[in-house]
């Protein structure tokens, strides 16, 4: 059974990237640790997933400030999500004896959204880009019929955050507002793995730590004094503090979540393999993001999240068609994390893929996924001028391509 299922077991790892590329909260990619298993002396695993979420608001309504007074607006059919690409690289293998190590790169979290029309008074653009550079090692020893490995390592995470609002002449506040922040932080991983190659069995439990970021950057605005006055500050005080300033330094603090994932796969019949995973992500740690400007030292914008914890559950099967070609089919349910401040509701993903062994050292694989986003509503607001919105049930898609080279 070993020879017929090894290629399928590898494909399961390849397709995990496309299945996780649109997971709950702001999750995107996850590091590939398959290189820490098997008998590979050294290898390079690389690939990526292209995701087109296709998310929109069917309706949004709220208030904008026009001529100093609140003015209601209603807007329909607002496209919000942008397409994106999630890369993954893993390099490593046996270092010495029973010690294996893998250097990994991926983008674990992200957001890309743009808005147009009256709603851009509240939010015109929001982007989050993260990069994770990790080193994880495992030490293995024989236990029963298989091999038990203990994993540990660290990673370096960088983030870039951008937010903007538009204030057009129609609203009485010409100009716009934009903040760009960046930060970096260290984290760690701990885990256990067990494998029996003869039956393609592999179980893995991996913990990824929380990261805490203190971001710095720049804030540009229509005159700060005008916005302070619109927010209720007395005009003489606002002008005394800000003068004609339209830019300032900016700071913000936030934490990105810890997670715990269990993966399991095993041969179930000649040329057949079953696999599944369960992942918990502590998204409740991300409550809000408060941006402070550096002139008056005041909080100048707040983005509310108030996420619930996330759960992602995947199940599927793999089949070896012949000595070189295999395929998989899977279903993923991702629990929505929204508490009413956004529309990050449940998603369902059906994914299929194929792997082709070019030779004993090189494999190429690819897959596709259809993603269904359940309908949701942004119903929570923090002030009278905030907006509410409804998102319909919609479909998105993802494609993945990967290559694996062993030496």
Per-residue pLDDT tens over the stretch 193-233? 999 988 989 999 999 999 999 999 998 888 888 777 877 78
What are the tens digits of pLDDT across the range 313-327?
999 999 999 989 999
**CA–CA dist 266, 277 (Å, integer):** 12
For 372, the enclosing helix (H) or strand (E) is: strand 362-373
**Farthest-apart Cα atoms in the chain, separation:** 80
Q: What is the DSSP letter of 232?
A: T
Q: Which residues contact 9 (CB under 8 A, 6 or more apart)?
A: 200, 202, 265, 273, 318
The model carries a pTM of 0.92
Sheet bearing 56-66, strands edge to edge: 69-79, 56-66, 388-391, 376-378
pLDDT, one tens digit per residue, over 377-401 is 999 998 878 899 999 999 999 999 9
Q: Per the structure block, which two tokens stand in for 126?
A: 């929001």
Whether the per-residue pLDDT at 8 is higher than 70: the answer is: no
Q: Which two three-digit tokens encode residue 246?
A: 């339209």
d(C-alpha 346, C-alpha 293), whole Å: 35
Query: Domain boundaries in the chain?
Result: 2-406
The pLDDT of residue 174 is 60
For the structural domain made of 2-406, what CATH number should be given?
A: 2.40.160.60
Position with higher pLDDT, 52 vs 167: 52
**pLDDT value, residue 64:** 83
Q: Are 293 and 179 in contact (CB under 8 A)?
A: no
In terms of Cα–Cα distance, which of 202, 271, 268, 264 is closest to 8?
271
């Amino acid at each position: 059974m070993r020879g017929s299922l090894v290629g399928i077991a590898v494909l399961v790892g390849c397709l995990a990237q496309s299945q996780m590329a649109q997971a709950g909260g702001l999750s995107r990619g996850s590091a590939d640790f398959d290189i820490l298993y098997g008998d590979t002396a050294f290898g390079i695993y690389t690939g990526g997933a292209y995701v087109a979420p296709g998310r929109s608001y069917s309706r949004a309504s709220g208030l904008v400030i026009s001529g100093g007074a609140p003015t209601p607006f209603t807007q329909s059919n607002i496209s919000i999500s942008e397409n994106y690409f999630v890369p993954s690289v893993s390099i490593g293998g046996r270092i010495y004896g029973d010690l294996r190590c893998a250097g990994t790169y991926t983008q674990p979290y992200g957001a890309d959204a743009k808005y147009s029309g009256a709603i851009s008074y509240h939010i015109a653009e929001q982007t989050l880009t993260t990069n994770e550079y990790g080193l994880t090692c495992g030490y293995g020893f024989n236990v029963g019929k298989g091999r038990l490995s203990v994993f540990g390592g660290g990673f370096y995470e960088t983030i870039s955050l951008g937010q903007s609002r538009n204030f057009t002449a129609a609203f009485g506040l010409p100009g716009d507002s934009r903040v760009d922040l960046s930060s970096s932080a260290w984290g760690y991983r701990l885990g256990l793995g067990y494998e029996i190659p003869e039956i393609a069995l592999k179980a893995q439990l991996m913990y990824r730590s929380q990261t805490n970021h203190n971001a710095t950057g720049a804030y540009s605005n229509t005159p700060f004094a005008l916005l302070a006055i619109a927010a209720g500050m007395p005009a003489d005080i606002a002008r005394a503090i800000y003068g004609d300033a339209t830019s300032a330094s900016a700071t913000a603090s936030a934490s990105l979540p810890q997670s715990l994932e269990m993966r399991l796969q095993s041969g179930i019949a000649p040329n057949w393999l079953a696999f599944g995973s369960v992942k918990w992500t502590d998204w409740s740690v991300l409550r809000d993001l408060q941006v402070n400007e550096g002139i008056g030292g005041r909080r100048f914008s707040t983005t509310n999240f108030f996420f619930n914890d996330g759960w992602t559950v995947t199940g599927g099967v793999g089949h070896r068609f012949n000595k070189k070609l295999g395929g998989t089919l899977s279903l993923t349910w991702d629990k929505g994390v929204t508490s009413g401040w956004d529309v990050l509701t449940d998603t369902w993903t059906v994914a299929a893929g194929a792997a082709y062994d070019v030779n004993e050292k090189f494999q190429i694989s690819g897959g596709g996924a259809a993603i269904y986003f359940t309908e949701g509503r942004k119903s929570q607001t923090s002030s009278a001028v905030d907006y509410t919105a409804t998102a319909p049930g919609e479909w998105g898609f993802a494609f993945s391509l990967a290559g694996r080279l062993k030496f």
